[in-house]
Amino acid sequence: GAVVSQHPSWVICKSGTSVKIECRSLDFQATTMFWYRQFPKQSLMLMATSNEGSKATYEQGVEKDKFLINHASLTLSTLTVTSAHPEDSSFYICSANRATGAETQYFGPGTRLLVL
Amino acid sequence: DAKTTQPPSMDCAEGRAANLPCNHSTISGNEYVYWYRQIHSQGPQYIIHGLKNNETNEMASLIITEDRKSSTLILPHATLRDTAVYYCIVRVEGTYKYIFGTGTRLKVLA
Protein backbone atom coordinates (compact mmCIF):
# COMPACT_ATOMS: atom_id res chain seq x y z
CA GLY A 1 0.00 0.00 0.00
CA ALA A 2 0.83 3.73 0.03
CA VAL A 3 1.53 4.16 -3.66
CA VAL A 4 1.83 7.61 -5.19
CA SER A 5 2.03 8.13 -8.92
CA GLN A 6 3.02 11.11 -11.05
CA HIS A 7 2.27 11.89 -14.63
CA PRO A 8 4.06 12.54 -16.84
CA SER A 9 7.38 11.02 -15.80
CA TRP A 10 9.23 13.41 -18.07
CA VAL A 11 8.29 16.33 -20.29
CA ILE A 12 10.09 18.60 -22.73
CA CYS A 13 8.47 21.89 -23.61
CA LYS A 14 9.23 25.17 -25.30
CA SER A 15 9.92 28.30 -23.33
CA GLY A 16 6.74 30.23 -22.61
CA THR A 17 4.41 27.26 -22.53
CA SER A 18 2.65 25.84 -19.48
CA VAL A 19 3.09 22.33 -18.16
CA LYS A 20 0.77 20.42 -15.84
CA ILE A 21 2.01 17.64 -13.59
CA GLU A 22 -0.41 15.29 -11.84
CA CYS A 23 0.13 13.58 -8.51
CA ARG A 24 -2.18 10.79 -7.40
CA SER A 25 -2.40 8.69 -4.27
CA LEU A 26 -3.52 5.33 -5.63
CA ASP A 27 -4.55 3.37 -2.58
CA PHE A 28 -5.19 5.92 0.14
CA GLN A 29 -6.76 9.31 0.60
CA ALA A 30 -4.53 12.27 1.25
CA THR A 31 -5.88 15.51 2.66
CA THR A 32 -2.41 16.98 2.35
CA MET A 33 0.04 16.69 -0.51
CA PHE A 34 3.38 18.38 -0.98
CA TRP A 35 5.38 19.55 -3.98
CA TYR A 36 9.16 19.55 -4.05
CA ARG A 37 11.79 20.57 -6.58
CA GLN A 38 15.23 19.06 -6.87
CA PHE A 39 18.13 20.39 -8.92
CA PRO A 40 21.05 18.14 -9.90
CA LYS A 41 23.25 17.06 -7.01
CA GLN A 42 21.06 18.93 -4.52
CA SER A 43 18.54 17.89 -1.92
CA LEU A 44 14.78 18.20 -2.24
CA MET A 45 13.38 21.67 -1.68
CA LEU A 46 9.81 22.02 -0.46
CA MET A 47 7.81 24.31 -2.73
CA ALA A 48 4.31 24.17 -1.33
CA THR A 49 1.77 22.35 0.78
CA SER A 50 -1.43 21.41 -1.00
CA ASN A 51 -4.58 20.92 1.04
CA GLU A 52 -7.71 19.35 -0.42
CA GLY A 53 -10.38 21.93 -1.02
CA SER A 54 -8.32 24.95 -0.02
CA LYS A 55 -5.55 27.15 -1.33
CA ALA A 56 -2.01 25.88 -1.32
CA THR A 57 0.56 27.28 1.08
CA TYR A 58 3.78 28.27 -0.62
CA GLU A 59 7.27 28.34 0.86
CA GLN A 60 9.18 31.58 0.94
CA GLY A 61 10.60 32.49 -2.43
CA VAL A 62 8.24 30.29 -4.45
CA GLU A 63 6.03 32.28 -6.83
CA LYS A 64 2.44 31.20 -6.40
CA ASP A 65 1.39 32.71 -9.74
CA LYS A 66 4.06 30.74 -11.55
CA PHE A 67 3.50 27.41 -9.82
CA LEU A 68 -0.24 26.87 -9.68
CA ILE A 69 -1.40 24.11 -7.41
CA ASN A 70 -4.84 22.54 -7.36
CA HIS A 71 -5.95 19.83 -4.95
CA ALA A 72 -9.48 19.10 -6.08
CA SER A 73 -9.90 15.66 -4.54
CA LEU A 74 -8.47 13.48 -1.81
CA THR A 75 -6.39 11.56 -4.33
CA LEU A 76 -5.26 14.16 -6.86
CA SER A 77 -3.11 17.28 -6.76
CA THR A 78 -1.79 19.09 -9.82
CA LEU A 79 1.13 21.46 -10.28
CA THR A 80 1.09 23.74 -13.30
CA VAL A 81 4.29 25.50 -14.24
CA THR A 82 3.08 28.57 -16.11
CA SER A 83 5.11 30.32 -18.80
CA ALA A 84 7.98 27.94 -18.24
CA HIS A 85 11.54 29.10 -18.80
CA PRO A 86 14.80 27.16 -18.97
CA GLU A 87 15.57 27.93 -15.33
CA ASP A 88 12.40 26.02 -14.38
CA SER A 89 13.98 22.84 -15.70
CA SER A 90 14.19 20.53 -12.73
CA PHE A 91 12.99 17.30 -11.12
CA TYR A 92 9.57 17.85 -9.55
CA ILE A 93 8.45 15.40 -6.88
CA CYS A 94 5.15 15.18 -5.04
CA SER A 95 4.28 13.42 -1.83
CA ALA A 96 1.03 12.50 -0.13
CA ASN A 97 0.45 12.46 3.58
CA ARG A 98 -0.99 9.22 4.86
CA ALA A 99 -2.86 9.69 8.11
CA THR A 100 -1.60 6.79 10.20
CA GLY A 101 -0.86 8.58 13.43
CA ALA A 102 2.70 9.19 12.32
CA GLU A 103 1.46 11.13 9.29
CA THR A 104 4.02 9.59 7.00
CA GLN A 105 4.66 11.08 3.58
CA TYR A 106 4.86 8.81 0.58
CA PHE A 107 6.59 10.13 -2.51
CA GLY A 108 5.86 9.88 -6.19
CA PRO A 109 8.52 8.82 -8.70
CA GLY A 110 9.10 12.38 -9.87
CA THR A 111 8.66 14.31 -13.10
CA ARG A 112 11.66 15.58 -15.00
CA LEU A 113 10.94 18.86 -16.78
CA LEU A 114 13.19 20.24 -19.49
CA VAL A 115 12.34 23.66 -20.86
CA LEU A 116 14.04 24.54 -24.13
CA ASP B 1 16.79 24.83 7.86
CA ALA B 2 16.86 21.07 8.29
CA LYS B 3 16.47 19.88 11.85
CA THR B 4 18.83 16.97 11.37
CA THR B 5 22.52 16.53 10.63
CA GLN B 6 24.08 13.53 8.92
CA PRO B 7 27.55 12.67 7.64
CA PRO B 8 27.76 13.52 3.94
CA SER B 9 28.99 10.12 2.81
CA MET B 10 29.75 6.57 3.93
CA ASP B 11 31.04 3.39 2.35
CA CYS B 12 30.00 -0.11 3.31
CA ALA B 13 31.12 -3.51 2.09
CA GLU B 14 28.50 -5.67 0.48
CA GLY B 15 27.00 -8.11 2.96
CA ARG B 16 28.05 -6.09 5.98
CA ALA B 17 25.79 -3.98 8.16
CA ALA B 18 25.49 -0.32 7.24
CA ASN B 19 25.01 1.98 10.23
CA LEU B 20 23.86 5.47 9.31
CA PRO B 21 23.82 8.03 12.12
CA CYS B 22 21.63 11.10 12.46
CA ASN B 23 21.63 13.91 14.97
CA HIS B 24 18.32 15.57 15.83
CA SER B 25 19.11 17.28 19.10
CA THR B 26 16.22 19.79 18.85
CA ILE B 27 13.50 17.21 18.34
CA SER B 28 10.36 17.81 20.39
CA GLY B 29 8.78 15.18 22.57
CA ASN B 30 6.02 14.12 20.22
CA GLU B 31 7.78 14.27 16.87
CA TYR B 32 8.70 11.15 14.94
CA VAL B 33 12.00 10.48 13.20
CA TYR B 34 11.55 9.37 9.58
CA TRP B 35 14.07 7.74 7.29
CA TYR B 36 13.92 7.72 3.52
CA ARG B 37 16.33 6.92 0.76
CA GLN B 38 16.63 8.24 -2.76
CA ILE B 39 18.12 6.21 -5.54
CA HIS B 40 19.34 8.25 -8.46
CA SER B 41 16.56 9.95 -10.46
CA GLN B 42 13.76 8.49 -8.38
CA GLY B 43 11.45 9.82 -5.69
CA PRO B 44 12.40 9.18 -2.05
CA GLN B 45 11.44 5.76 -0.75
CA TYR B 46 10.07 5.42 2.77
CA ILE B 47 12.15 3.13 4.98
CA ILE B 48 11.07 3.38 8.59
CA HIS B 49 10.00 5.78 11.31
CA GLY B 50 10.07 5.82 15.09
CA LEU B 51 9.14 7.85 18.14
CA LYS B 52 10.87 6.47 21.21
CA ASN B 53 11.29 2.74 20.89
CA ASN B 54 13.56 0.93 18.51
CA GLU B 55 11.81 -0.24 15.38
CA THR B 56 12.43 -2.98 12.83
CA ASN B 57 10.82 -3.83 9.55
CA GLU B 58 11.73 -5.85 6.49
CA MET B 59 14.04 -3.12 5.22
CA ALA B 60 15.91 -1.87 8.25
CA SER B 61 16.17 -1.27 11.98
CA LEU B 62 15.99 2.09 13.70
CA ILE B 63 17.75 2.67 16.98
CA ILE B 64 16.76 5.84 18.83
CA THR B 65 18.77 6.99 21.83
CA GLU B 66 16.98 7.33 25.13
CA ASP B 67 17.22 11.13 25.06
CA ARG B 68 15.92 11.05 21.45
CA LYS B 69 18.64 13.41 20.29
CA SER B 70 20.08 10.97 17.79
CA SER B 71 19.25 7.80 15.93
CA THR B 72 20.92 5.19 13.76
CA LEU B 73 19.48 3.45 10.75
CA ILE B 74 20.82 -0.07 10.32
CA LEU B 75 20.75 -1.99 7.08
CA PRO B 76 21.71 -5.44 8.37
CA HIS B 77 23.16 -6.93 5.19
CA ALA B 78 23.86 -4.19 2.67
CA THR B 79 23.62 -5.01 -1.03
CA LEU B 80 24.73 -3.03 -4.07
CA ARG B 81 21.11 -1.97 -4.57
CA ASP B 82 21.22 -0.16 -1.23
CA THR B 83 23.55 2.44 -2.73
CA ALA B 84 21.55 5.67 -2.36
CA VAL B 85 21.25 8.95 -0.49
CA TYR B 86 19.67 8.36 2.92
CA TYR B 87 17.68 11.12 4.58
CA CYS B 88 16.80 11.40 8.24
CA ILE B 89 13.88 13.78 8.74
CA VAL B 90 12.05 15.39 11.62
CA ARG B 91 8.97 17.40 10.73
CA VAL B 92 8.74 21.13 11.20
CA GLU B 93 7.09 21.38 14.62
CA GLY B 94 3.36 21.91 14.48
CA THR B 95 3.16 21.08 10.76
CA TYR B 96 3.31 18.07 8.47
CA LYS B 97 6.20 19.58 6.50
CA TYR B 98 9.50 17.84 5.87
CA ILE B 99 12.64 19.92 5.37
CA PHE B 100 15.28 17.80 3.71
CA GLY B 101 18.91 18.12 4.72
CA THR B 102 21.77 16.98 2.56
CA GLY B 103 21.50 13.33 3.67
CA THR B 104 24.18 10.64 3.67
CA ARG B 105 25.38 9.24 0.38
CA LEU B 106 25.89 5.54 1.05
CA LYS B 107 28.00 3.59 -1.37
CA VAL B 108 27.94 -0.18 -1.02
CA LEU B 109 31.13 -1.69 -2.37
CA ALA B 110 31.42 -5.13 -3.96
Pick the closest to residue A79 from A45, A47, A31, A54 (CA basis): A47
A58 or A102, which is more confident: A58
Q: Output the pLDDT for position A101.
A: 65
Residues A13, A28 contacting (CB under 8 angstroms):
no
Q: What is the pLDDT of residues A25-65, one digit of tens each?
A: 999 988 899 999 999 999 999 999 998 888 899 999 999 99
Query: Does B10 contact A at CB distance below 8 Å?
Result: no
Asked whether residue B5 carries a pLDDT value surpassing 90, the answer given is: yes
Chain A positions touching chain B (beta carbons under 8 Å): 2, 4, 6, 32, 34, 36, 43-46, 49, 91, 93, 95, 97, 102-110, 112
Q: Output the pLDDT for position A72.
A: 83
Sign of CA dihedral B69, B76, B81, B8: positive
Q: Output the pLDDT for position A102.
A: 66
First-to-last C-alpha distance (Å) of chain B: 35
Give the start-end residues of each E strand in A15-75: 19-25, 32-38, 45-51, 57-58, 67-73
Sign of CA dihedral B78, A98, A18, A67: negative
Asked whether residue B59 carries a pLDDT value surpassing 70, the answer given is: yes
Distance from CA of A93 to the nearest CA of B (A): 6
Asked whether residue B29 carries a pLDDT value surpassing 70, the answer given is: yes
Mutation choice for B interface testing from A105, A106, A111, A112 by most B CBs within 10 A: A105
DSSP 8-state code for residue B5: B
Q: Output the pLDDT for position A94.
A: 97
Pick the closest to residue B70 from B102, B22, B103 (CA basis): B22
pLDDT bin (cut points 50, 70, 90) of residue A100 is low
Position B53: which residue type? N
Q: Among the listed ranges A52-56, A94-98, B37-41, which one has the minimum average pLDDT value? A: A52-56
Asked whether residue B13 carries a pLDDT value surpassing 80, the answer given is: yes
- Edge-to-edge, what's the strand order for the sheet holding B18-23? B18-23, B70-75, B61-64, B55-56
- Mean pLDDT computed over every residue of chain B: 94
Q: Output the pLDDT for position B1.
A: 65
